[in-house]
Amino acid sequence: MWFFRRKGPSGFSSSSTAEEVTQGIDASGLTAIVTGASSGIGTETTRVLALRGAHVIMGVRNMAAGKDVKEAIVKEIPTAKIDAIELDLSSLSSVRKFASEFNSSGRPLNILINNAGIMATPFMLSKDNIELQFATNHVAHKSSKEGRIVNVSSEAHRYPYREGIRFDKINDPSGYSSFAAYGQSKLANILHANELAKRLKEDGADITANSLHPGAIVTNLFRHNSTINGLVHLLGRAVLKSVQQGAATTCYVALHPQVKGVTGEYFSDSNLAKPRPQGQDLDLAKKLWDFSMDLVK
């Protein structure tokens, strides 16, 4: 569609694909972790990073699906370097096991892409008794200090609960809204990246942390709402991004030289964007950091 072709200052637009935004970039020698890599934009992000030479570690809950994705990518790109490690983001013990297994490999970590997420689920608690969307989309992605850190957020961060983060009601089913809870978790992605960027700067680390909106994409994220899911698949090809376009901003922030040294920012359509004011609230980001650290103890 015509409005997809408007290029921003980066030279890219919402119609740009992940391959286009990484054209000519050599990622050889880099190791990247991509969570939620067995479907949707996680798979495409994995494919394009591997295409550019990065060694990609797929964090996947379903190892059989991960194996299928790996085999399909290697069949297309025989030089691809890909491994899969089991990772269930609804379980902190699984997150710790994944981190331990990766650390035992002795590989440096250059790029961490927190891509995995769930959307608009009925009220449920994670294996650690934390509201499922907040646990999966935010808490499990409390990041280590390595290279470029990329949090895949969403424009849904503009529609959280009125107070932004319901610190005193995270696990309270009363007043629960599946979409507001999703917005809350995506707002948390932005605040987490901002606070992490601030702390890394203070430590003098040459590591960036940013967040992004991948765009509205035809994926299985809407599976918990049959009406919206039906509309998405009916109208999707006409008004939504393809998976190749949806993975573009992630790959841009993870690899492009234009983003070198840029930290604590929010991106959309492979260009700088502005989150809602709550997403720029330093006090809220600090409060969320402390709150989240208590949850993962």
Q: Which helix (H) or strand (E) covers residue 266, if one does?
A: strand 266-268
Q: CA torsion angle for 235, 241, 244, 245 (degrees, to 10)?
A: 170
User: Would you give the DSSP letter of residue 192?
Assistant: H
**What's the token pair of residue 8?**
């921003």
**What's the token pair of residue 12?**
């890219």
Under 8 Å between Cβ of 47 and 249: no
Q: For 211-253, give the DSSP string.
A: EEE--SB-SGGGGG-HHHHHHHHHHHHHHSB-HHHHTHHHHHH
Please name which of 242, 266, 256, 268 lies closest in space to residue 40, comparing C-alpha atoms: 242
Active site residue 176: yes
Catalytically annotated residue among 159, 161, 176, 182: 176
Question: What positions carry a catalytic annotation?
Answer: 176
